[in-house]
Amino acid sequence: MNSSESAPNGSGALPFDPAQALRAGLRVRQCDFARLIGVSKAAVSGYIRRGLIDRPGPDGRLDPVAASAQLLKRGDPVRLRAPLLRRAAESVADAQGRADTMSAHVDRLTAELESEREFRQARCLVDDELCRRLDLLQAELIAGFDRLAEARAVGRLFVELQCMIGAHVWQLPDSELTEFRSEAMQTGQTDADMLAELRKRGGDPE
């Protein structure tokens, strides 16, 4: 790019308020657009020749908003040496960087919240199921009080309690519970034997 595209010095103030012009949709001359973005009129003519800016309308004027957007989209603001556009491009790049960082942060927080939600949901399901099973065990203990009393009288209370816990808390199949009762009967193990074994293993504090 030749030096004719560098920003002119001492080219004078714009004959309009740029902010009001943008709000009003005012179309401007090529020389005014050149001053607006900080380049020479020859540079703007070069942009038009190379298709970086659409050709002016029948009135020979440009829409400054559309022309600026076209330059940002079709050209390299740094190589165009347009201070206004370069600052705009830098602001856009900086904003995009912050947006990408925030997006990554939001994605991470979303994933963490979803993981926490799934954990709490699973925990609630487990807690609800455990409460349900304990309620069943409590009902069985009440309903089977007479059977437990008989088992205690013959030294088989632990066996009956373990069978109830196995059935309602651990939900063991009937076949396993029957096998457990059968083995307990065959070995002749009593409550006293089980207590002695627990003390030996340290499972029954004094």
Each residue's pLDDT tens digit in the chain (206 positions)?
A: 444 444 443 344 444 555 565 555 678 888 888 888 788 888 889 889 988 889 988 888 898 888 888 887 887 766 666 666 666 666 666 777 788 888 888 889 899 989 999 999 888 988 999 999 999 999 999 999 999 999 899 888 988 998 999 998 888 999 998 888 888 888 877 888 877 877 887 754 45
- The full set of domain ranges for the chain reads 3-89, 144-206
pTM equals 0.42
Q: How would DSSP label each residue in the chain?
A: --GGGSPPSS----SS-HHHHHHHT--B-HHHHHHHHTS-HHHHHHHHHTTSSPPP-TTS-B-HHHHHHHHHHHS-HHHHT-HHHHHHHHHHHHHHHHHHHHHHHHHHHHHHHHHHHHHHHHHHHHHHHHHHHHHHHHHHHHHTHHHHHHHHHTT-HHHHHHHHHHHHTS---HHHHHHHHHHHHHHT--HHHHHHHHHHHT-S--
